[in-house]
A and B are shown apart, each in its own frame.
Chain A
Amino acid sequence: MLNSKRYPSLVIAIIVSAALILTGCGLTTEPTKNTTLSASIPVDGGLFRFGMISSPTALDPAFLVEVNGIEIAKELYDGLIRYDPNTLEVKPAIAEKWDYSADKKVLTFHIRKDVKFHDGTGVNAQDILDVWNRLAAKATVSPVAFPLEPIVGFAEVNSGAAQTISGLKKIDDYTIEVTLKEKNAAFLTSLGHPTVSIYKLEAAKKAGQDFGTPASTPETIVGTGAFKFVKWNSDQDITIEKFKDYYGTKAHVDQVVYRIFKDESTALNEFRAGTLDYVDLLPPGQSQAIIQEFPDQTIKTITFTNEFIGFNLSKAPFKDNVYLRKAIAYAIDPQSVVDSILSGLSTVSNGPLPITMPGYDKDLICPSFDQTKAKEYLAKAGYPEGKGLAPIQYAYNFNQTNQIIAEAFQSQLKEVGIPTELKSMEWGSYINAVQQGDTQMFRLAWGADYPDPDNSLRVLYTKSQWGMNNNTFYSNPQVETLMTQGLEENDTLKRMAIYKTIQEKLVEDQPAIWTFNTTYLRLFGKNVHDLTISALDQKDMRTVWLSK
């Protein structure tokens, strides 16, 4: 022991010297580029190696609750409609066309006759009805059956009182009639969610509990998409291959292997080693260095996810005190967070809708960083210079980024005299506390499931969603009426005008401060072409091709 003590000062000297050298060697940051891919003549063939961070939980459409499952499932299963990967407009898929009844409550879908399951058998109307009835069934316990909720008879099937949805009718082998409870302009768009996509129910039933799990086989996952299932090695990789009898535009690559990583750094190192063509998530804090290391090989996507700071309107200090909410909205500076903490890789929100969402009002005037106005509103709220205001609890689910952002906002609020206490919690306890109204001010994000403003607004700001998705406990009868009108209006221009008014009302009432639109940076190989990533954060494997 004594001998080993003779050299510590030397060791310390070396370490401290190394520290001094290293601390002087930091990389300088540069603004992030918004890179897009250029198209040229596609080449068919090859294996696309997709670096995916964390494993999908399921490939059963009835249990697509997270992004990675959706990412793969949308390639395996087609729905009645699909979204254009660039514009997110509704396009025909299994249904080649559809008609509305005069009262807009009945939709008739005309099914293509050339759609085949991956086992070569044809798809008909009954297959669609069977899959949707399974999704709605009580026994299925699907957490994502929401697209079917507007159909007459859904509630009965979902509660176990009926076996089949009465509002679903097969007219002939290639025609389906869907009757809605009310006019619903968002229903058609919602059918692009992979949870309502079509697969061979008979094969799924044979698999039983194994359907959509790593125990799946090509005989049990029999879909309708441009790719068919090959294998799923649990926590390692999932392989899909081009379906040669696909009815639509066929994929260019022969196979896609989704290699599963537990952390971003390992995936990045594999990319550097040349064993991946694409990395889906990059290590936090390294985006600028990665852009420098791989110029013209990154792509930036602004998603449908809007982050916000919600105010609990069910109790003090925010109940009936819009001035205090406005004071906070003027006191914080999200742009400074984007510029520093988020390395320029996020987008400041301007209102309740993500900037990529149809109906987003770019002219909407939201409170933006202005300390003078913040102090004015604070005085109007009854707390001049913050006097008499007890520290407000600002809660967030724990991760380093959320924590650092919370510290930044806490400091900015302190500058105008608003005291806050930070409260970090793990996700399970956190969401429970938020939904039960046990927090005062909280950080949340909402990612829209489909490209329709209803999915971002009605879900978060109507009374029927209190304690579920509406955790600010906001309710305004005028807004509720407008939400219903927006859902029932089929004229797109008139509809968007309604959502513009809703956005203005929400900004006026300020139940939340909309902070950031989640933005991702992705990395792809030099041989990767025509990779499109939509605002739904989905990468289209049908368009991508690899140069030799």
Chain B
Amino acid sequence: MNRIRKISSVLMTAVFVTALCAAMLIFIFSKKDDVSYYENRSLADLPEFTWDGALDGSLFEELGSYVKDHAPARDGFLAATTWTDINVLRRPVVNDIYLGDGVLLPYFPHEEIDTVEIAEKAADAADRFYERVRLAESFGGEYYFVAMPCQYTCYADKYPSYLNNRDEYLTAARDAFLGELAERGVTTLDAGELYGTMGRPDYFTSTVDHHFGIMGAYETYKAMLSLHMEKTGDVLDVLEEDEFEVESLPNKYVGSRLRKIFGMWESDEKLGIIVPKDDVPYTRYNNGYNVASTVVTLPESEEDDVLYTAYMGGDIAHTVIDTGRDELPTVLIYGESFTNAIETFAWHGFNEMHSLDLRYAEEGAYEALIEEVKPDIVICIRDYSVLLETEGYGH
């Protein structure tokens, strides 16, 4: 018995010390990544030494974050933990994603609905928006606001009763905000209502990403232009269904929700793109620089994953698609990533299409662009969840 204890103690000591020392050496000599793909964020940098930081401890805190972000085998352990949570422990929510019946949905804590607060916030937000409307109109443009349903709004009934599907809050926020805009005479389109009237809201959105699918983007685009034509009597060159083909990319579509769980969920959803039959030449500029004339960034091979960022090459502060047809109107589409899928084909019927992503554009970019370009049509696209927000994406 003593012999067994002796041998096992020596072995235990050796394994424990060796493992820790090896991990230290691996950390020191391993190549450090800048970005975590699955977490979709930059990893912490090695902090610079400052006396103030050392005195108040913030230096060591930053150093701790750096070590945490670059710990040996971090990605492998993250994936293993996710796999265990899904397959062994069978948690309903993994990495803030609810693994529903055929769809991945975000987890939200239960929330209190304060209708008075929502009404006040809606009025404030509408006031802020209205300034942009007035500016666009003062330069002769027609302004439209499009409210997009969140992916989870289209699958509200897929949540179990013990989880919050945010339906109550989002309905209240949307109704209040669109009501406020209508009171100010702004023409609005509720894409959620549109999908609802078409019978299958889930058809237009994604099961693995927080954005809509390509057909959702198309129906929104068509409704947007119809709204303008109804309002002004103008005739626009709308891309009709017999003028394009929908192509499904063969790659694995790793939507934002699927990415959060390391792609560990069976999905046959493919990323669709609209390919117009009529070839219209155009020039593209990203933030003022001439770039390749393409609106879909395809992965290098069929084996590679494809993301929503394939549309328009991802989020870019200012994009211009110039078809050089001066007789056609100019359009500005702004908002955030929801505009990307629409933009891959919306440019087709315009002289110039400008796209502004307010998250990346400098302050005052919208105002400067309106004054410079004087677009005939201005379309703002926001999803339900940020309508009343004044921070982050809602700003």
A is bound by B = no
A contact residues vs B (CB 8 Å cutoff): none
B contact residues vs A (CB 8 Å cutoff): none
